[in-house]
C-alpha cells in the first residue's frame, strides 16, 4: 500500500446483515442463512467489551473513532482490543478504514436496524404486548 493510500475493510466477505429481508409479520420468520446471520449479530454483541466499543464509536463527535482513542478507554492489551474490533467488523456492525498507521471505525447502521426490527414488539422475535394472554394455548 502506498503512503497516504486509504484502505477500507468492510464485512470481510461475510454475508452482510443489511441484506437480510425484514419480515413484515410473525408469519414470515427467518430461515437458514438469514437466521444464521442474525445469530452472528447477536453473538458479536454478546461480550461487554464489544458493547462498550460500539457505544464509544456511536458517541464519537465525528461519528468515527480511532483505535488509539478506543485503546485509552480499556485496560487490556492492544491485541485483545483489536480482536474485539475485528469481530465487530466481521459481523458487519463496524466498518474499518486504515489511515496511515491507525484504524478508524464507524458504525454500520443496517445491522442495528435489523436487530431493532427483530426485537421490537410485534417483530419476529417478540409479541405485541397483550398477545398470547392464554399461556396454555398451543398453536
Which pLDDT tens digit goes with each residue over 94-125? 999 999 999 999 999 998 888 888 888 877 77
Residue 6 pLDDT greater than 60, yes or no: no
Residue 14 pLDDT greater than 50, yes or no: no
- Contact in structure between 119 and 79 (CB atoms under 8 Å): no
pTM: 0.71
The lowest-confidence range among 20-24, 58-62, 71-75 is: 20-24
Residue 132 pLDDT greater than 70, yes or no: no
Half-sphere exposure of residue 124: CA atoms within 13 angstroms, side-chain side? 17
Counting DSSP H helices and E strands in the chain, the numbers are 5, 4
Greatest pairwise CA separation for the chain in angstroms: 67
Mean pLDDT, the chain, rounded, equals 78
| Long-range own/partner contacts, residues 127-135 (CB < 8 A, 24 or more apart) | 127/26
Q: Is 124 helix (H, G, I), strand (E, B) or coil?
A: coil
Helical residues (DSSP H) of the chain, grouped into ranges: 32-44, 48-59, 67-71, 78-90, 109-119
User: What integer pLDDT is reported at residue 123 of this predicted model?
Assistant: 75
Between CA 61 and CA 58 the distance in angstroms is 8
Amino acid at each position: 500500500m502506498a503512503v497516504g493510500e486509504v484502505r477500507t475493510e468492510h464485512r470481510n466477505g461475510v454475508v452482510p446483515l443489511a441484506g437480510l429481508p425484514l419480515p413484515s409479520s410473525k408469519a414470515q420468520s427467518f430461515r437458514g442463512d438469514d437466521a444464521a446471520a442474525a445469530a452472528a449479530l447477536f453473538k458479536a454483541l454478546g461480550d461487554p467489551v464489544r458493547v462498550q466499543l460500539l457505544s464509544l464509536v456511536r458517541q464519537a463527535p465525528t461519528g468515527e473513532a480511532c483505535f488509539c482513542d478506543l485503546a485509552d478507554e480499556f485496560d487490556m492489551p492492544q491485541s485483545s482490543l483489536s480482536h474485539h474490533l475485528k469481530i465487530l467488523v466481521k459481523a458487519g456492525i463496524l466498518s474499518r478504514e486504515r489511515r496511515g498507521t491507525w484504524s478508524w471505525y464507524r458504525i454500520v447502521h443496517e445491522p442495528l436496524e435489523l436487530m431493532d426490527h427483530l426485537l421490537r414488539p410485534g417483530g419476529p422475535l417478540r409479541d405485541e404486548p397483550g398477545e398470547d394472554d392464554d399461556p396454555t394455548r398451543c398453536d
